[in-house]
């Protein structure tokens, strides 16, 4: 019975082809054995009418032995699956003995008057039984060889029986029939194996689809819960903390309280990632910590984390934290912007990571148009759920700044190198969610990229020299741990700092 896949349900096979093949084989073996025994019974009647027995006691013992064995063997064929090897060996032995002994009990006239005076039909049936039951060339050849030796010994029973050509013809017919049956059953079993393998692949694929569908539904449900949770946090504690940390009437008079409130609001924003499958990792916590000092200076950091590895080497983690802290400090000191977007994501090993090294400067655009995506961090490198929008507390950003205007984080002494787009700030359900992550494989570690993007005043990297913070606190620090850093900026369109590891 086949069933529709439903997450986690194993789909049974509708048909067991090997069982069907064994049933067909059993039917063929039974039919051939019963038919050949009927032919032997007719031969006995013909020999009795023609008075063809020279040694009736020997013939009687031979016939009774074959009959007794057949009474035991035929039911075993119908009930035993597979037929035991010892039973096949006994069948070949009994048939070979009967073939070799019976001609010695017949008269010379019997060979001339009776069409089939010996056990030739039973011998062919025995060879066919071995071939179909074992599907083994070795067993088939051994059975045919034993029967051929029996026919050769029977040549000495009578001068009229001693016909080498006729006996060779009997043996050849028996060998060819058994070989054809063996080839047929082997091919049939190979086809059944191929069909079973294909069926397993189809079942596995359907189970993966069912699991992917179930996970996608779970991710959608979790995403909706995240949206409700973020809304509740924004309308409740985050709004209160932001008001306390501000300079307005609701701000606390004690600067130490305001600083702690700003840090708490920053941590609260960072620990509620937008990605429905996002989790807190060592890196995300380190980046949130890096934003605490800037948050205390009034800079609001918007965090986006996606697919980050659970752990990183301690020196790499430290380099990311300090370099990010320097970039955020530059935004707070020099950009003139009160908000900044911090994005951290991991790119799978089989996809090229955005290169922060030597990106081309973006073209100058009129105020009414939106700049293209930053070449240092192309949008094509981000998964669909990597940068979902999140509404920031307080007044919304101007609409002209949302499509992709880069942001600025450096001063006239701190050049940068990448103009980057900022995704819309309104959360919305993704049209499609990425598939499930397959079980971990021994593959290279993903490339981790951190981007700090503001929409401040920016600067011209061609005319502004690099400051110490960019050259040493960011670029050189990332290079020391095997990473890379790049900065891009455009006057009036903000600044972007990209950190990547490994380089």
CA distance 405 to 403: 6
Burial annotation 207-238 (CB, 10 A radius, 16+ → b, else e): beebeeeebeeebeeebeebbeebeebbeeeb
pLDDT at 388 over 50: no
Asked if pLDDT for residue 180 goes beyond 60, the answer is yes
Asked if pLDDT for residue 354 goes beyond 70, the answer is no
The answer to whether residue 365 scores a pLDDT higher than 60 is no
The predicted structure's pLDDT at residue 109: 75
Give tens-digit pLDDT for 11-26: 455 568 888 888 888 8
Is residue 429 predicted with pLDDT exceeding 60? Answer: no
Which residues are within 8 A (CB) of 487 and not within 5 positions of it... i.e. 6 or more apart?
356, 410, 415, 416, 417, 418, 461, 470, 474, 475, 495, 496, 497, 498
Between residues 436 and 203, which one has the greater pLDDT? 203
Mean pLDDT across the chain, nearest whole number?
74
Confidence of residue 439 (pLDDT cuts 50, 70, 90): very low
285: which 2 tokens? 């916590």
**Mean pLDDT across the stretch 89-111?**
87
Question: What global pTM score does this model have?
Answer: 0.44
Is the bond into 82 cis (omega within 30 degrees of 0)? yes
pLDDT higher than 80, residue 303 = yes
């Amino acid at each position: 019975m086949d069933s529709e896949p439903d997450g986690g349900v194993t789909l049974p096979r509708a048909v067991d082809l090997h069982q069907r093949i064994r049933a067909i084989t059993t039917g063929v073996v039974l039919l051939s054995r019963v038919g050949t025994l009927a032919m032997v019974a007719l031969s006995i009647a013909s020999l009795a009418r023609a008075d063809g027995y020279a040694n009736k006691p020997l013939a009687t013992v031979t016939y009774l032995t074959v009959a007794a064995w057949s009474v035991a063997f035929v039911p075993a064929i119908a009930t035993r699956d597979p037929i035991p090897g010892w039973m096949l060996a006994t069948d070949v032995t009994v048939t070979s003995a009967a073939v070799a002994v019976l001609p010695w009990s017949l008269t010379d006239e019997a060979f001339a008057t009776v069409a089939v005076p010996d056990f030739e039909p039973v011998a062919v049936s025995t060879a066919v039984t071995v071939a179909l039951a074992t599907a083994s060339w070795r067993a088939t050849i051994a059975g045919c060889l034993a029967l051929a030796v029996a026919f050769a010994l029977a040549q000495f029973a009578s001068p009229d029986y001693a016909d080498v050509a006729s006996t060779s013809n009997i043996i050849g017919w028996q060998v060819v029939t058994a070989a054809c049956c063996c080839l047929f059953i082997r091919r049939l079993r190979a086809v059944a194996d191929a069909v079973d393998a294909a069926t397993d692949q189809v079942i596995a694929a359907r189970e993966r689809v069912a699991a992917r569908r179930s996970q996608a539904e779970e991710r959608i449900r979790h995403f909706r819960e995240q949206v409700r949770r973020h809304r509740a946090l924004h309308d409740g504690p985050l709004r209160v903390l932001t008001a306390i940390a501000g300079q307005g009437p609701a701000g606390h008079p004690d600067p130490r309280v305001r600083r702690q409130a700003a840090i708490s609001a920053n941590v609260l924003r960072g620990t509620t990632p937008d990605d429905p499958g996002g989790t807190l990792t060592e890196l995300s916590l380190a980046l949130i910590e890096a934003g605490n000092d800037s948050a205390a200076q009034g800079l609001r950091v918007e965090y986006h984390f996606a697919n980050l590895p659970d752990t990183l080497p301690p020196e790499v983690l430290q380099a990311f934290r300090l370099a990010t802290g320097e970039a955020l400090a530059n935004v707070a000191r020099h950009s003139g912007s009160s908000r900044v977007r911090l994005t951290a994501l991991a790119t799978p090993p089989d996809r090229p990571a955005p290169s922060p090294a030597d990106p081309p400067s973006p073209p100058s655009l009129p105020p009414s148009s939106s700049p293209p995506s930053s070449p240092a961090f192309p949008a094509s490198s981000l998964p669909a759920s990597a940068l979902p929008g999140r509404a920031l507390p307080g007044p919304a950003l101007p609409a002209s700044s949302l499509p992709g205007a880069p942001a600025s984080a450096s001063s006239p002494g701190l050049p940068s190198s990448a103009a980057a787009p900022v995704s819309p700030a309104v959360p919305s359900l993704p049209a499609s969610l990425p598939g499930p992550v397959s079980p971990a494989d021994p593959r290279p570690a993903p490339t981790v990229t951190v981007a700090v993007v503001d929409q401040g005043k920016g600067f011209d990297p061609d005319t502004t020299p690099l400051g110490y913070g960019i050259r040493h606190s960011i670029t050189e620090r990332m290079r020391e741990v095997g990473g890379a850093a790049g900065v891009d900026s455009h006057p009036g369109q903000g600044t972007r700092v990209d950190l990547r590891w490994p380089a």
